[in-house]
Amino acid sequence: MDIVQLHDKRFEVFIDKATIANKVVALAKQIDADYKGLNPLFLGILNGSFIFAADLFRHISTPAEISFIKLASYRGTTSTGNIVTAIGLEENIAGRHIVIVEDIVDTGRTLHSFLPQVLQQQPASVQIACFLSKPEARVCEVVPRYMCFEIQDTFVVGYGLDYDGQGRNLPHLYRLCD
């Protein structure tokens, strides 16, 4: 399936699933080495990160924990900047090494508004691991420590990312056709 139709839009394969899988394993190895013996707590941001977080986490071999929170700023194909917290942070994160797992850092607004909540609880450290980053679209300064791919400012779906609810189950990453 090189071209898929979701609602009113067509998408083409952008990054295939084998390339994604290799990159995720390599990133997990890097994180694993950096956090050896630190019992990191991975915090996945729902919904978009659920596939990336699962694939990444299963390749972490040092003892680690994972939890999820739900934030959202996207409606359709543009970021609204209105961050909604639907499921909050339940863990006590004071003194913990936190790895925030995000699907994509776009404008940076989502993480920029969420990070103070995390820092307020005095974790030992906080870093961001994202599947994708769109540096050209950045409005707020957010610097992911770990990243699979840097992409241009184009709308993508698949591998957990949706277009109005559809496309999260697509195995590859797709981008909007011209």
150-157 contact pairs (CB < 8 A, 24+): 151/14, 155/77, 156/11, 156/14, 156/104, 156/132, 157/6, 157/11
Q: Which one among 98, 101, 161, 173 touches ligand 5GP, defined by CB under 6 A? A: 161
Tally Cβ neighbours within 10 Å of residue 47.
19
Q: Which SS3 state, helix, strand or coil, does residue 176 take? A: strand
Counting contacts by CB under 6 A, is residue 44 touching ligand 5GP?
no
Cβ-count burial of 67 within 10 angstroms (0-12 exposed, 13-18 middle, 19+ buried)? Answer: middle
Q: Which is closer to ligand 5GP, CB of 95 or CB of 153?
A: 153
Q: Which is closer to ligand 5GP, CB of 55 or CB of 102?
A: 102
- The number of residues that bind ligand 5GP (CB under 6 A) is 19
103 is catalytic: no
- From 7-15, 29-37, 62-70, 98-106, give the range in contact with ligand 5GP by CB under 6 A: 98-106
Counting contacts by CB under 6 A, is residue 100 touching ligand 5GP?
no
Counting contacts by CB under 6 A, is residue 98 touching ligand 5GP?
no
Counting contacts by CB under 6 A, is residue 133 touching ligand 5GP?
no
Q: Which one among 62, 79, 121, 127 touches ligand 5GP, defined by CB under 6 A? A: 79
- Whether cis (ω within 30° of 0) applies to the bond prior to 169 is no
Q: Which is closer to ligand 5GP, CB of 93 or CB of 110?
A: 110
Enumerate the H helices of the chain as residue ranges.
17-34, 50-57, 109-119
Tokens of 140: 């707020």
* Interaction site with ligand 5GP (CB under 6 A): 48, 73-74, 79, 102-110, 155-157, 161-163
Which residues are marked as active site?
106
